[in-house]
Amino acid sequence: MAARGHVQDPNDRRLRPIYDYLDNGNNKMAIQQADKLLKKHKDLHCAKVLKAIGLQRTGKQDEAFSLAQEVATLEPTDDNSLQALTILYREMHHPELVTKLYEAAVKKVPLSEEYHSHLFMAYARVGEYKKMQQAGMALYKIVPKNPYYFWSVMSLVMQAISAQDEKLAQTMFLPLAERMVEKMVKEEKIEAEAEVQLYFMILERLGKCVEALDVVRGPLGEKLTSELRSRENKCMMMYQRLQLWPECNALSYKLLLKNPDDWQFYLSYFDSLFHLMDKSWSQPEEGEHCVEGPVQTTVAEAVKFVVDRMEEQDKKESRPLRGPYLACLELIHRLRQRGCPDEKELGDPLELMVQFFGKFGDKPCCITDLKIYLHLLPPEQRSQFKNRLGELVPLGEAGEDGFGFPGDTKALQRHLCVCQLSRALGLQHALDTEGKLRLITELKAHYHHGLQFGKSCLKTELQFSDMYCLMAAHVYIDLWTETGDENMLWQCLGMLEEGLSFSPSNAQFKLLLLLLFCRLGAFQPVVDLYSSLDAKHVQHDTIGYLLTRYAGSLGQFAAASQSCNFSLRFFHSNQKDTSEYIIQAYKYGAFEKIPEFIAFRTRLNQSLHFAQVRTERMLLDLYTEADVTLSLEESVKAMGVCPEEDDIPWDNMRDNRDLTVLVSWDPKDRELTEEHRRLSLEEESVWLKVRALTLRLLASLALLGHAPSPWNSDKTNENGISAKSSTLQTLLSQLDQTLETAAQITEKHTQYPFLGPPSSRLASALSSGSCHCQASALQLSLTLRELETTGLEMLSRCKGEVLEMKDGRLKTQPSLLETLVFFVETVCVVLWVASYSANVLRPLKSSLQKKKKKKKDSSTAMPVVMCGFQEWTGSLHGVVTQALDHVKGQEASLTALKLAALTLEEGYSQTQEECGFTRAAMDKVQTSYLGSLQEMGDLLRKRADSLKSLKI
């Protein structure tokens, strides 16, 4: 942590042991040592901070924080305290506090280059671009070093990039940045390559491509030396944006002469050529020629150019380059797209591809190269093509089984390539079952034969014939999916296991085995397979789905939880990690990397897989632990799930899954398409939404269940509860909507290529009924909630004295009695519904218990209903008890009411006799009220008893 070379300051010497303890992870000793030191030197603030670091690292965040704040409020200016606080705040994930720290420090020491620079970096860490701009300038004023000035310029560019309003970026931030750089250019103060890069970046973002070109071509451009071909690449970019096709064409031509294997320049060469042809561009007059050299404008020239490049390669002694030959096929493809007859000048695609195979058939990439141009062959030529290639494969005499084998690895690779091409041409798929079985026999024979070439291979190397094995597995899968013959699947697994035994590092074997085991529902072997792939870090995002898609859904909860954790750890470190390197990029002047790093961080934060593992991890915890070791409420609180909060970026979800990680040689019509990718993301997102809503609903339920009931609480609490019920309501209607969308999606029955993305759990969740059962159960909770609340409300309206004496007068409220009757009637209805529900649920529960005894697993949906019911009857009981108490209270006060004490005023034209009659009438009312109350009390008591029998 602290690499201090020269220890001169006595404080440094005193602090040294604490640093050492912290560095060695001995936090307890660090704290003790700090305490010791603080006894002697009360004002050694840094010791306090170091103690705080120790506390933070031993989980005492609150203590650490308040200790740190003690020092921070003193606004320290000593290096030790500042650095220690910076470390502490970063570990506490409070980088914004570091800015406050250095803001105070530069106020006290306004001329410190170091503190200003720390302040700039602190702002950079939290992305405070405007303040960075100011901090950069402040630095430059203290110490006029170019980097500081350009930090400020780059901060303007960042303000432009992050501006919501593109207009603001274009009219304010970028022009200002441009002027700042221009000023330095005019004063001839431009020093570093990074500064020119930044200038170019600004002009490019402003769309000032002509000016950008001038910079690159001019004297400033001479500074662009680090990256190879930096100036050419930048010029090409600008030519394309400016649609300067002559320059684009001439530069591509020039670069291809130098390096006839650089694919990008063939593309820009062809693009520009056709643009020029479309515009009927012609060479200008003498003297006005293109700055980049000769321009080619006709198909004839392009054909000649490509043919010349091929001839050049043909004549070469050394290894020929693939570029020119592929360029020839690319040109045919483009000419054909334009309906241009000149393609014939280049030759027959079949012949050209045969030629290509002749030259490169022994390279493993031959299939990858030719695959993109197979569409140039008409369907009727496919078999002929395969046969022609076969002629170029030297195989030995055919044996008894009718197969001839290659004599060396080059011949093997050629033969393999023909197999791969015939698969890509759809010839394998066209075979009938018998044909496919024979093909498998042939591939197996070649696989086994080829193993002899790899006898000396290390464990880390692949066998030369591995791909035969993989292809045989693919054909097995074809057979399995077509015929449903499970035997094919078992043989396929056997084939791959055998392959792995000879080639233990073959990732493709592992990936396919993994996929097949998952399809079979057997997750256990997958754990070892995946871990032997040694997938780490970013791979958790790109191929982690292979694990997380299946672990939980196949009932391996521990493994599921673990794989979610691996991924989560990666995602969580992203935020801190990337900020650090954004700062590094400022330091090293890698300005173009700054927006790139920020985009990268965003891409990870918005990852579909991140949201999935986040949600699944919490659901898993609830399923396995809530109401087992902790209550649901405690679990929800510990996870910090807030039902109101949705932290998933639904509109910007990034699908970072590598869906082509499994090798496939399937024909184009069976390959993964963009549409597949879109559908898969859509499906996964909807499933994620179902899961995320379930989680939030459970959280909402848990927090609601323990809220104080309005009967005993004041108004504000009542409001709080109604707000929370409304969350439940909102979430439920969102869940309903999502399930509707889900139903529409599953109706499409999208089939993905076998080696492509696995289908989500959506369809099976829906068809199992689990989604709807859970939704109904959750709906029930809302209904119950309403029931309880309205019940209590009704009861509260019964409150008050039906008969009381006030100011010596008798006051009646007969409506209270009526309300009480409504309440009692309602209680009856609710109880009958409850008893009906109990009858429905009772057999369900007993069957569930039987199942539970049989299987260890239990369905997750049912207990929610059961708990819901129990909660419901519980709260019903509560309401009835409260009602009974109320009735009892009323009875008591009625009985206690001594009407005799009432002095009826005489003189209101009432005689004493008349008063006697009035008293009698009052007595009757009182007795009647009492009678009503008693009857209702009896009824309620009976209901309360029957409620007890409602236990399920």
List the one residue out of 782, 783, 813 whose CA is nearest residue 800: 813
Residue 222 contacts another protein per CB under 8 A: no
Among 128, 178, 478, 541, binds another protein (CB under 8 A): 541
Residue 368 contacts another protein per CB under 8 A: yes
Who's near 52: CB < 8 A, 6+ residues apart? 63, 64, 65, 67, 68, 71, 88
What backbone torsions phi and psi does residue 395 show, to the nearest 5 degrees?
Answer: -115, 155
Residue 441 contacts another protein per CB under 8 A: no
Q: How far is the CB of 6 from another protein (least distance, A)?
A: 21
How far apart are the C-alpha atoms of 501 and 495, rounded to whole Å? Answer: 10
The one segment of 164-172, 429-437, 516-524, 598-606 that binds another protein by CB under 8 A: 598-606
Residue 333 contacts another protein per CB under 8 A: yes
Question: 654: helix, coil or strand?
Answer: strand
The amino acid occupying position 665 is W
**Number of amino acids touching another protein (CB under 8 A):** 62
Long-range contacts of 242-249 (CB under 8 A, 24+ apart): 242/209, 242/210, 242/213, 243/275, 245/272, 245/275, 245/276, 245/279, 245/281, 246/272, 246/276, 246/281, 246/290, 246/292, 246/295, 247/290, 247/291, 247/292, 248/272, 249/273, 249/276, 249/295, 249/296, 249/297
Who's near 471: CB < 8 A, 6+ residues apart? 419, 420, 423, 443, 665
Hey, which residues between 462 and 501 contact another protein (CB under 8 A)?
462
Residue 377 contacts another protein per CB under 8 A: no
Nearer to another protein (CB atom), residue 31 or residue 393? 393
Among 542, 796, 835, 882, binds another protein (CB under 8 A): 542
Residue 228 contacts another protein per CB under 8 A: yes
Residue 593 contacts another protein per CB under 8 A: yes
Among 27, 272, 574, 875, binds another protein (CB under 8 A): 574
CB 591 within 8 A of CB 198: yes
List the one residue out of 84, 151, 161 whose CA is nearest residue 120: 151
Residue 263 contacts another protein per CB under 8 A: yes
Residue 676 contacts another protein per CB under 8 A: no
The one segment of 212-220, 315-323, 726-734, 823-831 that binds another protein by CB under 8 A: 315-323
How far apart are the C-alpha atoms of 370 and 375, rounded to whole Å? Answer: 10
**DSSP secondary structure code for residue 321 in this structure:** P
Nearer to another protein (CB atom), residue 519 or residue 593? 593
Residue 602 contacts another protein per CB under 8 A: no
Structure tokens of 96? Answer: 């914004």
**DSSP secondary structure code for residue 709 in this structure:** P
What backbone torsions phi and psi does residue 630 show, to the nearest 5 degrees?
Answer: -130, 160
Nearer to another protein (CB atom), residue 55 or residue 367? 367
Note the Cα 230 to chain centre separation in Å.
35
CB 423 within 8 A of CB 667: yes
Residue 597 contacts another protein per CB under 8 A: yes
Residue 460 contacts another protein per CB under 8 A: yes
Cα distances (angstroms) measured from residue 283 to each of 288, 300, 304:
9, 16, 19
The one segment of 11-19, 21-29, 364-372, 735-743 that binds another protein by CB under 8 A: 364-372
The one segment of 57-65, 594-602, 838-846, 860-868 that binds another protein by CB under 8 A: 594-602
Nearer to another protein (CB atom), residue 587 or residue 748? 587
Q: How far is the CB of 519 from another protein (least distance, A)?
A: 21
The one segment of 100-108, 433-441, 534-542, 832-840 that binds another protein by CB under 8 A: 534-542
Long-range contacts of 170-176 (CB under 8 A, 24+ apart): 170/206, 174/202, 174/205, 174/206, 175/206
Q: How far is the CB of 209 from another protein (least distance, A)?
A: 17
**DSSP secondary structure code for residue 281 in this structure:** -
Among 430, 599, 723, 921, binds another protein (CB under 8 A): 599
Structure tokens of 84? Answer: 């220690």
The distance between the two most distant Cα atoms of the chain, rounded to a whole number of Å, is 140
The one segment of 518-526, 585-593, 771-779, 823-831 that binds another protein by CB under 8 A: 585-593
The one segment of 433-441, 586-594, 718-726, 843-851 that binds another protein by CB under 8 A: 586-594
Residue 319 contacts another protein per CB under 8 A: yes
Residue 538 contacts another protein per CB under 8 A: yes
Give 220-239 as a DSSP string: GGGG--SSTTHHHHHHHHHH
Nearer to another protein (CB atom), residue 599 or residue 921? 599
Hey, which residues between 99 and 118 contact another protein (CB under 8 A)?
none
Among 345, 577, 625, 671, binds another protein (CB under 8 A): 577
Q: How far is the CB of 380 from another protein (least distance, A)?
A: 22
Among 9, 70, 113, 227, binds another protein (CB under 8 A): 227
Nearer to another protein (CB atom), residue 254 or residue 363? 363
Among 179, 183, 344, 537, binds another protein (CB under 8 A): 537
Residue 336 contacts another protein per CB under 8 A: no
User: Residues 850-889: x/- map of binding to another protein (CB under 8 A)?
Assistant: ----------------------------------------
Ranges assigned E (strand) in 499-638: none
Note the Cα 503 to chain centre separation in Å.
34
Residue 534 contacts another protein per CB under 8 A: yes
Structure tokens of 895? Answer: 């009985």
Q: How far is the CB of 183 from another protein (least distance, A)?
A: 27
How far apart are the C-alpha atoms of 436 and 485, rounded to whole Å? Answer: 13
List the one residue out of 405, 326, 328 whose CA is nearest residue 363: 326
Residue 661 contacts another protein per CB under 8 A: yes
**DSSP secondary structure code for residue 909 in this structure:** S
Residue 580 contacts another protein per CB under 8 A: yes
Among 543, 782, 798, 862, binds another protein (CB under 8 A): 543
The one segment of 458-466, 768-776, 836-844, 905-913 that binds another protein by CB under 8 A: 458-466
The one segment of 74-82, 344-352, 455-463, 939-947 that binds another protein by CB under 8 A: 455-463
Q: How far is the CB of 490 from another protein (least distance, A)?
A: 26
Residue 585 contacts another protein per CB under 8 A: yes
Nearer to another protein (CB atom), residue 228 or residue 896? 228
Q: Which residue carries 């006060």 as its tokens? A: 893
Long-range contacts of 852-857 (CB under 8 A, 24+ apart): 857/555
Who's near 146: CB < 8 A, 6+ residues apart? 184, 189, 190, 191, 192, 195
Nearer to another protein (CB atom), residue 509 or residue 872? 509
How far apart are the C-alpha atoms of 414 and 394, rounded to whole Å? Answer: 8
Nearer to another protein (CB atom), residue 90 or residue 593? 593
Note the Cα 908 to chain centre separation in Å.
84
Nearer to another protein (CB atom), residue 319 or residue 850? 319
Residue 578 contacts another protein per CB under 8 A: yes
Nearer to another protein (CB atom), residue 55 or residue 611? 611
How far apart are the C-alpha atoms of 241 and 209, rounded to whole Å? Answer: 7
**Residues found near another protein in the complex (CB under 8 A):** 225-228, 261-264, 267, 319, 322-323, 326, 330, 333, 362-365, 367-369, 371-372, 458-462, 505, 507, 533-539, 541-543, 573-574, 577-578, 580-581, 584-585, 587-588, 590, 592-593, 596-597, 599-600, 603, 656, 658, 661
